[in-house]
Amino acid sequence: MQAIRSILVVIEPEHSESLALKRAKLIAGVTQAHLHLLVCDPKHDHSGMLGVLKAALIQDGFSVTTEQAWNDSLHETIVDVQQAEGCGLVIKQHFPDSPLKKALLTPADWKLLRYCPTPVLLVKTSKPWTGGVILAAIDVGNTDGEHRTLHSSIVDHGYDIASLAKARLHVVSAHPSPMLSAADPTLQLSETIEARYREQCKAFQAEFDIDDEHLHIAEGPADVLIPYMVHKLGASVTVIGTVARSGLSGALIGNTAEVVLDAVESDVLVLKPDTIMDHLEEIVTQH
């Protein structure tokens, strides 16, 4: 996160209290990143508001540019501007549609998470980051190259946010329930599964300097465990990675991530493996 030179902040004109901008200021205040404020609107009639925001930010010592743009849809507009400006992070606030859909992300948010070639921070709560808990969700059982690289990215980003917000980093990993039909006998008993995961975690803990107190391993589906731990620890930010389903063009987020994102009561930073980022970059530049 320290390497991010420019942040794209999506501004929603009808919501004057921008939580996305608040988070961007916290990050840029430490990293000195440039802020590019974007209003996605075909009418382009928000110059006054953007001017006021820009003047206030410049007075506070931030480097700022602003833009109004529209290209067919919200997510396409955001991705186009992210590419044109070379922003290394996109920050957008999630606004629930209705009480019934309160938790659920809007289709525009989903498309942004799927197609944006950079990390996306979705701001879901007004909970302050400072002095809080940052939760990094990983899958220790997956040790192939792509997952290992993604794990290190998730933990690195978690540490970065924890240091800039003077917060504490915790790590959560779910392990599967025993399956009597499993070919591997160690996957047939809870005790042996947990022992095996603990063993894999030891190497992970040594590599990333995470003590037992800050590592949470439990049995069960990740889409249940992660929201539970977010709630239990009162986490301000959840850092989660997504790996594309194979055989599909573009990076589709897996079901676990979709359920987790809707269920967590925290802001969410979504990361993808470099290979997917590169693939998405290619798709975007071909348009």
The predicted pLDDT at position 158 comes to 95
Q: What CATH number labels 133-286?
A: 3.40.50.12370
pLDDT value of position 247:
36
Q: Are 23 and 129 in contact (CB under 8 A)?
A: yes
Overall average pLDDT of the 126-141 stretch: 91
The residue to which tokens 């991010």 are assigned: 4
If pLDDT is split at 50, 70 and 90, which confidence band does 276 have? low
Q: What global pTM score does this model have?
A: 0.87
What residues form DSSP beta bridges with 9? 37, 91
**Residue 218 or 32, more confident:** 32
Give the DSSP per-residue string, 161-178. HHHHTT-EEEEEEEEPPP
> Which has the higher per-residue pLDDT, 33 or 253?
33
Structural domain boundaries in the chain:
6-123, 133-286
pLDDT tens digits, residue range 7-28?
999 999 887 678 999 999 999 9
Whether pLDDT at 246 is above 70: no
Mean model confidence pLDDT for the chain: 84
Residue 185 dihedral angles phi and psi, to the nearest 5°: -60, -25
Work out the percent of the chain whose per-residue pLDDT is above 70: 80
Does residue 238 surpass a pLDDT of 90?
Answer: yes
Contacts of 282 (CB under 8 A, 6+ apart): none
Provide the greatest CA pair distance for the chain.
Answer: 66
Asked if 121 contacts 90 with a C-beta cutoff of 8 angstroms, the reply is yes
Predicted confidence at residue 77, as pLDDT, reads 96
> Does residue 95 sit in helix, strand or coil?
coil
> CB of 85 within 8 A of CB of 36?
yes
Beta-bridge partners for 66: 37
The answer, yes or no, to whether residue 250 has pLDDT greater than 60, is no
Q: What is the spatial distance between Cα 96 and Cα 75, in angstroms, rounded to a whole number?
A: 16
What is residue 91's predicted lDDT score, i.e. its pLDDT?
A: 97
Given this model, what pLDDT does residue 60 score?
A: 97
Q: Where does the pLDDT of residue 182 fall: very low under 50, low under 70, confident under 90, or very high at 90 and above?
A: low
Domain pair 6-123 / 133-286, same fold: yes
C-alpha 159: how far from its chain's center? 14
Q: Is the pLDDT of residue 180 over 60?
A: no
The Cα–Cα gap between 138 and 269 comes to 13
Phi and psi angles of residue 84, each rounded to the nearest 5 degrees, phi first: -65, -35
**Helix (H/G/I), strand (E/B), else coil: 246:** coil
Q: What's the rounded Cα separation, in Å, for the pair 25 and 196?
A: 42
pLDDT tens sequence across 91-131:
999 877 666 666 677 778 888 888 888 999 999 999 999 99
Contacts of 223 (CB under 8 A, 6+ apart): 255, 256, 259, 260, 263
Can you spell out the DSSP letters for 1-39? -TT--EEEEE--TT-SS-HHHHHHHHHHHHH--EEEEEE
Read off the pLDDT band of 245 (50, 70, 90).
very low
CATH code for the structural domain at 6-123: 3.40.50.12370
Q: Which two tokens stand for residue 215?
A: 């590592």
- Tell me, what's the pLDDT at 249? 38
Return d(Cα 70, Cα 38) in angstroms, integer. 10
Stronger pLDDT, 142 or 114, i.e. the higher one? 114
Please give the structure tokens belonging to residue 38: 């974007």
Measured between alpha carbons, how far is 168 from 245 in angstroms, rounded to an integer? 32
Torsion from C-alpha of 243, 245, 251, 257, nearest 10 degrees: -50
Can you give the pLDDT at residue 252?
43
Q: Is the pLDDT of residue 86 over 80?
A: yes
Q: Which of 85-89, 91-95, 139-143 has the lowest mean pLDDT?
A: 139-143
